[in-house]
Structure 1
Amino acid sequence: MTWAHLRHGPAHQPYAHQPPAAPPAASAVDLAKVYGSGARRVAALDGVSVAFQQGHFTAIMGPSGSGKSTLMQCLAGLDTPTSGRALIGDTDLAGLSERQLTRLRRERIGFIFQAFHLLPALTVAENITLPLAITGRRPDRQWLDQVVTTLGLTDRLRHRPGELSGGQQQRVACARALAGRPDIVFADEPTGNLDTPTSAEVLSLLAHLTHRMGQTIIMVTHDPAAAAYTDRVVFLADGRITDELHRPDADQILDRMKRFDHL
């Protein structure tokens, strides 16, 4: 199966509120997030209910201010919703203390950001295992070797970040997010600092991690070409889910995004 085949799936399926067949890796139930009050009140999320399947690569898209980053932050336990529920698996984040939230993020969630956030004084191997070392956890060596091999970093482990290209640095950041074998990885514009060929390389690797290794990835992006690598795209506008596409191509996604501009 080619990457082109993975990016060009069946025709658009209308958005439906039915939960997916597989147990969700993360979900939101009537999630709301309000900032300010009175005339300055802004509803970043307005009753969002959505589930993200295990072992799937999902993109969250929408115009600026649509609530996509807020949704990701609430699901990841980085922000507290005003009302509703955010769950990782069957764990309701609202029921956790700050210490329990920190532990959940550390043990069950991985993060990939637009900026690589690698420590220049450490080697690639040390950067990858740093979160585990800080918490005193031992890596699953077989899993870690598989991640390193899949991301093409085997011959770069002794290098330092300054000796790597931007794409290689982002691959190190991906490996770091995956090192602890998290239940779910949240990626916030992970290819925003990369050129087009390098972006395609990183996104292909993320899709491979999902389809061949069963990793769950939720990615916030504004780029239709990036979203075309995913299994599913969820669209937000004005803090609400308005549509979704399954196995989309870039043209389908761009068409949906143009509708937001017209609105």
Structure 2
Amino acid sequence: MTTAVANPRAGGAGGGTAVAAQARQVVKAYGSGETRVVALDRVDVDIARGAFTAIMGPSGSGKSTLMHCLAGLDIVTSGQIRVGDTEITGLKEKRLTRLRRDHIGFVFQSFNLLPTLTALENITLPMDIAGRRPDRAWLDRVVETVGLRQRLRHRPSELSGGQQQRVAVARALAARPDIIFGDEPTGNLDSRAGAEVLGFLRRSVDELGQTMVMVTHDPVAAAYADRVLYLADGRLVDEMLRPTAEMVLDRMKAFDTLGRVS
């Protein structure tokens, strides 16, 4: 299945939409011989720039593997991955590390904040390590977008789970990456805190022009996206534009039914 690039907010298939990341005939397999397991099976996908894409599927469908391959965190068995204009398959580890540092942001289920640093110090830490000065105007916009103005001097232990994840989101945004990947970013949060964080991810796309890719199992979380990609058995089997939680849940139930029948 080849998924065409579309700008979900423009109202139709868009051949001219910029691509932030791309997979072509990507295979990811583990093991060999009788123990070989294919996690991704000839996947083609384009991730539109400036849009919010959710990746869904049952456990073991390959959704996290796809995200990790697109983000350069995992090496494909065959096929091609591009981030922007750079093909990352075959890159040496040093160049790949630099590309991830300079062009890709990450938000994970665990907040990964350093307990001895303030919120602001955690936000700027990756740039500090890289010897880069933050763009103060951009950093100010990011802090405003995620609603952390009054919490910048607080350490993680002084913040709620939702606030800590907002710090993690701000950290991912602060370096102005080309694309941000989120792996179940609200998985450790209650529904209210999760909704706040998803709202900030949505605002980062709408107000900051960010590109967001999120793996999730939650129909409510997926409804914040412009587009939902569905994986099953390592293959892209469907997609949905302008999703609602009800539409996503109905589609997931249909997949569950098909799985039981087969």
TM-score of the superposed pair, with normalisation by structure 2: 0.93
Residues 202-247 of structure 1: CA distance to partner in whole angstroms, max 9, x if unpaired? 1011111101110000000000010001000000000000000001
The one-letter amino acid of 1:18's match is: A
Counterpart for residue 18 of structure 1? 4
Q: Distance in 2 between matches of 1:23 and 1:215?
A: 13
Mapped partners of 1:51, 1:140: distance in 2: 30
**Does 2:205 correspond to 1:213?**
no
Of 111, 114, 137, the match for 1:142 = 137
Q: CA deviation at 1:57?
A: 0.5
Q: Deviations over 1:109-165 (max 9, x none)?
A: 000000000000000110000000001011111111000011111111111000000
Deviation by residue 1:56-105 (Cα, 9 ceiling, x = unmatched): 01100000000000000111111100000011012100142110000000
Alignment of 1:176-191 (within 5 A): 176-191=171-186
Match of 1:69 among 61, 64, 70: 64
Relative contact order: is structure 1 or structure 2 higher (C-alpha 8 Å, sep ≥ 6)? 1
What percentage of aligned pairs have identical amino acids?
63
Structure 2 distance, partners of 1:241, 1:53, is 16
For 1:230 and 1:19, locate their aligned partners in 2 and report how far apart those are by CA, in whole Å: 15
- In structure 1, how many angstroms separate the alpha carbons of the residues matched to 2:235 and 2:198? 26
Which is further off, 16-25 or 232-241? 16-25
Say yes or no: does 1:103 pair with 2:89. no
Question: Partner residue of 2:249?
Answer: 254
- The one-letter code matched in structure 1 to 2:227 is R
Aligned-pair CA distance for 1:255: 1.0
| TM-score for the superposition, normalised by structure 1 | 0.93
**Please, which of 156, 165, 189 is the counterpart of residue 160 of structure 2?**
165
In 1, distance between residues paired with 2:131 and 2:169?
20
Q: CA RMSD in A?
A: 1.0
Equivalent residue number for residue 234 of structure 1: 229
Deviation at 1:23, TM superposition (A): 1.4
SS at match of 2:207: helix
User: Could you say which residue in structure 2 is the equivalent of 1:5?
Assistant: none
Kindly provide the amino acid, as one letter, of the partner of residue 160 in structure 1.
Answer: R
Which deviates more from structure 2 when the two are superposed, residues 16-25 or residues 144-153? Answer: 16-25
Report the Cα distance in structure 1 between the residues aligned to 2:37 and 2:53, rounded to whole angstroms: 26
Structure 1 residue runs of 4 or more that deviate by more than 2 Å after TM superposition:
15-21
The answer on whether the counterparts of 2:69 and 2:81 sit within 8 Å (CA) in structure 1 is yes
Matched, 1:47 2:42: yes
Note if contact 2:4-2:46 (Cα within 8 Å) is conserved in structure 1: no
Secondary structure, counterpart of 2:111 in structure 1 = coil
Instruction: Report the counterpart of residue 8 of structure 1 in structure 2.
Output: none
Mapped partners of 1:184, 1:16: distance in 2: 21
Tell me how far 1:16 sits from its aligned partner. 6.2
Q: How many residues end up aligned between the 2 structures?
A: 249
User: What's 1:12 paired with?
Assistant: none
Provide structure 2 residue ranges, at least 5 long, that are not aligned to the other structure: 7-13
Q: Partner letter of residue 127 of structure 1?
A: N
Name which of 8, 28, 37 aligns with 1:33: 28
Q: Determine the structure 2 residue equivalent to 1:3.
A: none
- Structure 1: distance between partners of 2:207 and 2:83: 22
